[in-house]
Structure 1
Amino acid sequence: MKKVIILIAVIFVLIQFFRPEKNISEKENFNSIEKQHAVPKNVSLILKTSCYDCHSNNTHYPWYNNIQPLAWWLNKHVVEGKRELNFDEFNRYSSEKKKKKLTEIIDEIEKKDMPLYSYTIIHSNAKISLEQQKEVNNWAKKLKDSLDFK
């Protein structure tokens, strides 16, 4: 039993040296959604508080991101989140993809699938109230409708 505990401790120490690359960009992003589309300040604040850690090129990492295997788990969420929607790359999307992503934003918020429950456990300020849901969804619907005319 003692050997097993020592082995687990050694493995735990060793994995601390293998860290994923952090999602932090120093560059000004010309493809961000706010560069081409009007995003009201209240909606922008909601998106930055509740969405951008996983859906942008800049994640604000919590202290526990310095502990493996938690950093790997967080990195997986960020990579998957950016693959689904990246607000910092939104203007690279085709018009059709933009409309699809806006529809998905509305659906995910209405179903309360976003932000992830596991995220809001630690980041309670990321929870979206009913009023905030309406604000984001109304904005997303208006933006989607405006894309139909471009």
Structure 2
Amino acid sequence: METEAYILMDEAHSRSNIVGRTEPEIEVGFPNICYCGGQPLLQTSYTRNDPGRKYFTCENVSDGDMHIHKWWDVAVMEEIRERARVYEVDLKEHREQESITEEKIVKLEKLVAELQKSKLDEGYELLIGGGTITVFVLFLSILLYCRSDYV
């Protein structure tokens, strides 16, 4: 009975430390460092309320200072949510970049079409100009030929 009382007092003390903590969570997901600078350890709870539940604590937890206490399953969920958030941000950036690239492709296609049209217009101008010169030279040739017959 006395041991259970100590465990319950310890749980109550742990809850008050977590609720009354002034420091923000150091990390989202799996902790890499404790508030004191120590390395987190993965431990197993043997309390009546959470038997067998894994949690992160600090290697220096016995010194009585403020140390990390984070349930493993909570850390896993945070890790998954954070990775999903990062994935969504990356996907959004990729889609924005894809949209910008598509806009550039449309602009380039329009530019190519305009250049092709202007080249065709130049070709028609050359064809018409060349045809006009040919008709003029032919007309002069006929005119000169006709004049030579009368002379």
Band of TM-score, shorter chain: under 0.3
Instruction: Kindly indicate whether structure 1 or structure 2 has the higher relative contact order, using CA contacts under 8 Å at least 6 residues apart.
Output: 1
Q: Greater strand percent: which structure?
A: 2
Using structure 2 for the length normalisation, give the TM-score: 0.24
Using structure 1 for the length normalisation, give the TM-score: 0.24
